Amino acid sequence: PIYLDYNATTPVDERVLAEMIPWFSQNFGNAASRSHLYGWQAEEAVSVARVQVAKLLGAGEKDIVFTSGATESNNLAIKGVFEAFGKEKNHIITIATEHKAILDVCTHLEQFGAKITVLLPDTDGLITTAQITEVIGANTLLVSAMYANNETGVIFPIEEIAKVCREKNVFFHTDATQAVGKLPINLRNTPIDLLSLSAHKLYGAKGIGALYVNRNNPRLKVIAQMDGGKHERGMRSGTLNVPGIVSLGKACDLARLEMSANQEKLSFLRNKLEQTILSMLENTSVNGGNAPRLAHVTNIAFGGVDGEMLLGNLKNIAVSSGSACTSASVLPSHVLKAMGINDDLAYSSIRFSLGKYTTEEEIDFTVNHVVEVIEKMR
Ligand code: PMP
């Protein structure tokens, strides 16, 4: 099938793979080995990667903590700040359309005394800074709001939210897993305290990511969630995944150089896909369609078709549906539900996420396939 699920994961770019391979068996040293060349080489590779990641974000390399991915980064950010300050301030604000790696962390912290406010977005999946300002109180410790949504591609007004939080003396974390390498991010001009990212969403390896921890905010403290050998300046112990880190660095480097060309091509292909489908099929709409969106994502609701059958019928394309399989049961997407979309329409919504290897032929094929399947089902 044609792969249009790049928001789930991306293939490793061949140039990234070529950089990471020697670090498995040829240069296999432990980056924490200080007494010999094997260790020094690995340490050097890690510091090159750290600079590459920092450069893409407009951050300092000392602000980058390597983790196993965005799930871990989100856990470290939110639990780490709560453990450091939870006795003084226990209120955390987040949004109903966040990834489970945010929402479930917040729920977890409730048993340790956290008070969680989950804001509801409008029907386009957006929230305003005013909504956040309204719920910030003297007890508010942290706001966590994603940069761009993984299901709809909706982009949040992160710079504005960050500024409001800074003014109110509240820490600000953003899950930027879907935005890094897709949108220009400059942390030098934006008062973001913590930012999560993951390599496998930008053509790097799986199981590697980073948390940006803003060292220019002297108030910020993050308690490690993994104790041990005090790697990553004590913020994340454990022998560094050198090949993974090298892959993340190279992926960030390529993204920095190629982002604008990729996004230009992707927005053309995404618009073609979306507009053609909408013009050929009635009772079809774009979830989050009126909000600013990532150029490579479209989430389309196909009215009047059975959602359970839809994905099975679209067997020539690899996409994901507006529902999530949680162990045995299939539930409508919590993101679409939070936007006020009813269960039926959430079930019959499809996320198409394109990537840099997507071709126009694939898009043309997809349009025909989708139109044929939907017409047959109706
Ligand atoms: N946050 C968002 C917004 C995501 O899309 C994902 C990946 N689905 C994650 C977090 C989790 O990332 P990882 O797979 O690196 O743990």
Of all protein residues, the one whose alpha carbon is nearest to atom 12 of ligand 1 is: 70
Give the residue whose CA is nearest to atom 4 of ligand 1.
Answer: 177
Is residue 51 classed as helix, strand or coil in its secondary structure? helix
Question: Which pTM was predicted?
Answer: 0.97
d(CA 20, CA 9): 18
Residue 376 burial (C-beta neighbours within 10 Å; 0-12, 13-18, 19+): exposed
Report the residue among 5, 99, 156 best suited for mutation to probe ligand 1: largest number of ligand atoms under 8 A from its CB: 99
Residues with CB under 6 A from ligand 1: 69-71, 99, 101, 146, 150, 175, 177-178, 198, 209
Q: What's the 83 CA to ligand 1 centre distance in angstroms?
A: 23
Q: How far does the centroid of ligand 1 lie from the alpha carbon of residue 197, in Å? A: 8
What does the alpha-carbon distance between residue 123 and residue 189 come to, in Å, rounded to a whole number?
30
| Residue-level pLDDT at 326 | 58
From the candidate CATH numbers 3.30.420.40, 3.30.70.141, 3.20.20.80, 3.40.640.10, the one assigned to the domain spanning 14-254:
3.40.640.10
Residue 232 has φ and ψ, to the nearest 5°, of: 50, 50
Largest CA distance in the chain: 69
> Residue 155 above 90 pLDDT?
yes
Q: 188: how many CB neighbours lie within 10 A of its CB?
A: 10
Which helix or strand (DSSP H or E) is residue 355 part of?
none
CA of 349 to the centre of ligand 1 (A): 20
Atom 8 of ligand 1, nearest CA residue: 8
Mind listing the pLDDT tens digit for each residue in 5-47? 999 999 999 999 999 999 999 999 999 999 999 999 999 999 9
Atom of ligand 1 nearest to the CA of 72: 16
Fold designation for 2-7+259-377 = Aspartate Aminotransferase, domain 1 (3.90.1150)
Nearest to 75 by CA among 36, 35, 107, 31: 107
- pLDDT single digits (tens) 307-346: 889 999 999 999 998 766 655 667 899 999 999 999 999 9
Cβ atoms of 143 and 170 within 8 Å: the answer is yes
Boundaries of every domain in the chain: 2-7+259-377, 14-254
For residues 354-378, average pLDDT: 97
Nearest-CA residue for ligand 1 atom 10 is: 70
Encoded amino acid at 321, one letter: S
The overall average pLDDT reported for the chain is 96
Catalytic residues: 325
Residue of minimum CA distance from atom 16 in ligand 1: 71
pLDDT value at 376 more than 60: yes
353 CA distance to ligand 1 centroid (A)? 14
Q: How far is CA 161 from the centre of its chain?
A: 17
Per residue in 242-293, pLDDT (tens digit) is 999 999 999 999 999 999 999 999 999 999 999 999 999 999 999 999 999 9
Q: Reduced to 3 DSSP states, what percent helix, strand and coil does the chain have, rounded to the nearest 5?
A: 40, 20, 40
Separation of CA 198 and ligand 1 centre (Å): 7
Q: Which of 310, 182, 192 is nearest to 252 (CA)?
A: 182
